[in-house]
Amino acid sequence: MNVKIENIEKNVIQMEIEVDAAKFEEGMQKSFLKNASKFTVQGFRKGKAPRHIVERAYGEAVLYEDAINIICPEAYEQAVTENNIDPVDRPEIDIKQIGSGQSLIFTAKVTVKPEVELGEYKGIEVKKVEANVTDEDVENEFKAVVEKSARIVSDENRVIENGDIAVIDFEGFIDGVAFKNGKAENYSLKIGSGQFIPGFEEQLIGKKTGDEVDVNVTFPENYGKEELDGKAALFKVKIKDVKIKEYPEIDDEFAQDISEFDTLAEYKEDLKKKLIERAEANAKNETEMALLEKIAENTKVDIPEVMINQQIDVLVRDFDMRLRYQGLDINRYMSAYGVTQTALIEQFKPRAEKDVLNQLIIDKIAEIEKIEVSEEEIDEEIGKLAGNYKQDKEDFKKHLKDDDIEYIKKDLTVIKTIKFLMDNAKLV
């Protein structure tokens, strides 16, 4: 296999890859075997015609697509490995020469990892963030635990207050005409959550089960739907049920119900210990991020847009997952707060740029300092992960794919590199 590499533009290369005729013939034969049952040729039972007969009847080009899909990915990966190419996106493939008895020639245009020019990264002075946990922090954390332990119960005599859950039927109208997707039945709405258009929830306060309410609101100018942007709307709302939180008795028995501790005092002491551990981890992370920020100030790199867009996708998916834990999703969030997809992407872009830059810096330092992860360290980390999932280590390992091992290795490399930087920093 022959490979020619050309720099097309900043961080973009094009490889011309030539696969010899024998290898191409292997791909054509595999393509034929895969598709033989599809071909009908007069004088032969379906799928039983020899390849040369099929090619005479249909043309050999009928086998090209699968032959290309069989040959090109393998040839591309081989070219990348042998030439130490570090792609950050999928390649654009273009076939230049194809046909029986010839070598297959194709080009692969791909964005590659940018060159990073580091400034000073050892001996950097950075302020150490301190971990502080107050009694008020412990009490607030305890209140959150109590909130989670509360039961949701119906109260038919309840007058709606902020924080209550109203179960409602509603339908929305603009200029007296019902609009699309503006209707729902038995919808559970937490008053004060901000799920609905500003002003909607407040107009339900003071109402009770059985009441019918006209709610007048105005959609935000940038709501994201042209037919609704800035429009005044009337919602016909019927209150089907009002639900409140019923809290448990706070005593030693409560502590026994939610933990392994016998007394409330023991439980709160453990809560404080965990808060301190969390605060110390957060303080350590903040110090590390501050150190990377200082190193970034003296780093020169042109980050490809595709890397930033990929990280934006990761951040948006993470955000959507967090919203789902709260009973929302990203579409309902954008609708409720009048956020467009473009605005959401712009919101995450600065964070994505910083994340990508930090990763490039860490990768470069790991390369320069020859920071590597041993098989023993990977095995130890697998043991920890298996323990987290309460699984036998050997059984857990059987389900790990090569990509999983590579992810673990990369994660450990990041941890070791940051530790190296912290060990060589001046903490003040």
Domains of the chain, each with CATH number or no CATH = 2-111 (3.30.70.1050), 151-246 (3.10.50.40), 262-427 (1.10.3120.10)
Tell me the two tokens of residue 91. 């390649």
Place of tokens 């990768």: 363
- Per residue in 375-408, pLDDT tens? 999 999 999 999 998 899 999 998 999 999 999 9
Please check the confidence at residue 325 and state whether its pLDDT lies above 80: yes
345 to 309, 329, 357, 359, 364: CA distances (angstroms): 9, 16, 18, 20, 28
For residues 306-316, one letter each, b for 16 or more C-beta atoms within 10 angstroms of the residue's C-beta and e for the rest, the string is: ebbeebbeebb
Find the Cα–Cα–Cα–Cα dihedral 88, 92, 403, 278, rounded to 10°: 40
Tell me the two tokens of residue 111. 């964005």
The stretch 249-270 carries a mean pLDDT of: 95
pTM of the model: 0.73
- What does the chain come to in residues? 428
Please check the confidence at residue 336 and state whether its pLDDT lies above 80: no
Structure confidence at residue 348 (pLDDT): 95
- Per residue in 134-170, pLDDT tens? 999 999 999 999 999 999 999 989 999 999 999 999 9
Structure confidence at residue 221 (pLDDT): 86
- Per residue in 296-323, pLDDT tens? 999 999 999 999 999 999 999 999 999 9
